Amino acid sequence: MVNLKINNIPVSVPEGSSILDAARLAHVEIPTLCYLKNVACVGSCRMCLVEATGARGLVAACVYPVSEGMEVQTNTPKCRKSRKVTLELLLSKHKKKCLSCERNNNCELQRLSVEYGADEDRFEGELQNTPLDDSNPCVVRDNDKCINCMRCVAACKKQHVGAIGPIGRGFHAHVGSAGGVQLKDSSCVGCGQCVVACPVGALTVKSNIPEVQAALEDPAKHVVFFTAPSVRATLGEAFGLPVGTNVEGKMVAAIRRLGKCSVFNMDITADLTIMEEATELLNRIQTGGVLPMFTSCCPGWVRFVEQTHPEMIPNLSTCKSPQEMFGGLLKTYYCEKNNIDPKDLFVVSVIPCSAKKFECKRPEMNGEVDVALTTRELARMIKTAGIKFTELPDEAFDDPFATCSGGGTIFGATGGVMEAALRVAAKTLDGKFEVVDFPEVRGTNPIKEATYKVAGKTIRVAVASGLENAETVIQSLQSGEKKYDFVEIMACPGGCVNGGGQPTLPDSVRNNVELRDERAKALYASDKQNKLRLSSETPVIDCLYKEYFGAPNSHKAHEVLHTSYKPDPRV
């Protein structure tokens, strides 16, 4: 341990820690723009400059190591002056369209400029007048708002995608894709991790709010919303509630107040996905099919396979994601049961993920989901409608898609799909198998492994979140180092609770709170409280198979609930 003082406050930190790490223990907030915990740490923005004994001049707290007896001052006139000048220089070439910016009142540059009294006109700069790139179905880039912090580049690199990077030098340095191509022609998989890393409004998720509002106002449209498992654990953050607050009831009530619509629970088709996926896995094991079988519920991960590992496409489950299963279910079974023409049904999914916007446009999905809204977009619609979210009563989802199992709920956390599938697979193989909790696949460790013996069969599983870790798993499989039967992959680190469409929180929260852990706790708590723990126990699932599909993996189920994938033509 190293002993030092931060603003005269004694602290002890492990050797190799930075001044920024030490400051956190002293409960001192040092401003940052390029630094983001677990994503980027390069010391390039110079906002975190501090005075430290033994150093010549100001040093970057995020990268400068502590030493025994060091004394650090973070709030001297010299520090404040340096930060103010840095902000004014950034503002000199920043498109200051704050009032119409999605990040207004939630922008790190704006917040720090107010705190340090920065004069936005002190230096006369020049905008590069870069055209807005809205070619991608998921992400929009406005380089005139970019401050070159490179957090988005670091996030993309960490995802093992590398769709964007630094281009040019000096004043003309900017972030773009190799060869100057638009985002739609890059290797972007739509995960949106670049968006949540961006401290300003240079990167945003493409909005579909106008389409949803138009459908709600169209008397000829029958509008249906359904919400993904993790949204209930994150939506409250957009309204000032603590991280990890379960707002399921208020979420349902708020959506109903947006206009005439039905509000369903996507956990139902998470349960349906498990029934199909667990059956498919057992069939592959019993018939010598392609193993390991990879989950296919994450569109960012699926696209990553199509682009970088097309040879692994046969390993993907043929199951659609819960979003697309619900779309298919609504445009067939639901429409038939309620005498609705499918063209009059407008289906809206509320999801934590920007890649879902791309997924619902895939030709393989037949346009069964009309629009995918992120958690952020739903929050914006609720605020625009003047709905006082925190004052709403708790309301239940609409029947028949209301009651789900705990297995469907934990889909939103890394390892949740695996655990839900293991519950059903184990019960199917051994009817007396009573274990419903599989703690080995829980938690936010990048890669988790486990081996289970059920009814004399050994099932080897792995769970990975974050595409960097997915690549590690693939490499270990292809080298023969590892052997698995079933692998769950989520593109976003921590799973859907950390998706690219989740609420944007300030750096002071992101750098000090383990968001993915706190959000996941809400889902596991809901699972624990649910009397139904297995997807096969969900009442409407039994009804669907008896009335419509016959059995999991039946011909009818394959028509509506399954799909196929193919290599990206650019590979």
**Residues annotated catalytic, as ranges:** 277, 280, 297, 317, 356, 359, 364, 496
| Alpha carbons 138 and 195: distance in angstroms, whole number | 10
Under 8 Å CB-to-CB from 377, ≥6 apart: which residues?
Answer: 205, 207, 208, 209, 501
| Alpha carbons 491 and 307: distance in angstroms, whole number | 14
| Alpha carbons 338 and 359: distance in angstroms, whole number | 27
| Alpha carbons 521 and 244: distance in angstroms, whole number | 7
Query: 510 near 493, Cβ under 8 Å?
Result: no
Question: For residue 323, what are its two tokens?
Answer: 């979003």
| Alpha carbons 558 and 503: distance in angstroms, whole number | 35
| Alpha carbons 72 and 7: distance in angstroms, whole number | 6
The CB-side HSE value for 2 (13 A sphere, CA atoms) comes to 20
**Three-state SS annotation for 107-152:** CHHHHHHHHCCCCCCCCCCCCCCCCCECCCCCEEECHHHCCCCCHH
Nearest residue to 215 via CA among 263, 264, 252, 261: 261
Task: Identify the burial level of 316 via C-beta atoms within 10 angstroms of its C-beta, where 0-12 means exposed, 13-18 middle and 19 or more buried.
Answer: buried
First to last CA, the chain: 50
| Alpha carbons 155 and 196: distance in angstroms, whole number | 9
* Residue spans of alpha helices (H) in 257-371: 267-287, 299-308, 322-329, 335-337, 355-359
| Alpha carbons 568 and 356: distance in angstroms, whole number | 17
CB atoms within 10 A of CB 543: 12
Question: For residue 537, what are its two tokens?
Answer: 């126990």
| Alpha carbons 312 and 315: distance in angstroms, whole number | 5
CB contact burial 462-494 (16+ within 10 A = b; e otherwise): bbbbbbebbbbbbeebeeeebebbbbbbbbbbb
Measured in whole angstroms, the distance separating CA 105 from the mean position of its chain's CA atoms is 22
Q: Which residue is listed with tokens 């005075």?
A: 51
Query: 256 near 263, Cβ under 8 Å?
Result: yes
| Alpha carbons 150 and 128: distance in angstroms, whole number | 17
| Alpha carbons 337 and 305: distance in angstroms, whole number | 37
Q: What angle do CA 437, 441, 445 make, to 5 degrees?
A: 140
H/E stretch holding 463 reads strand 457-465
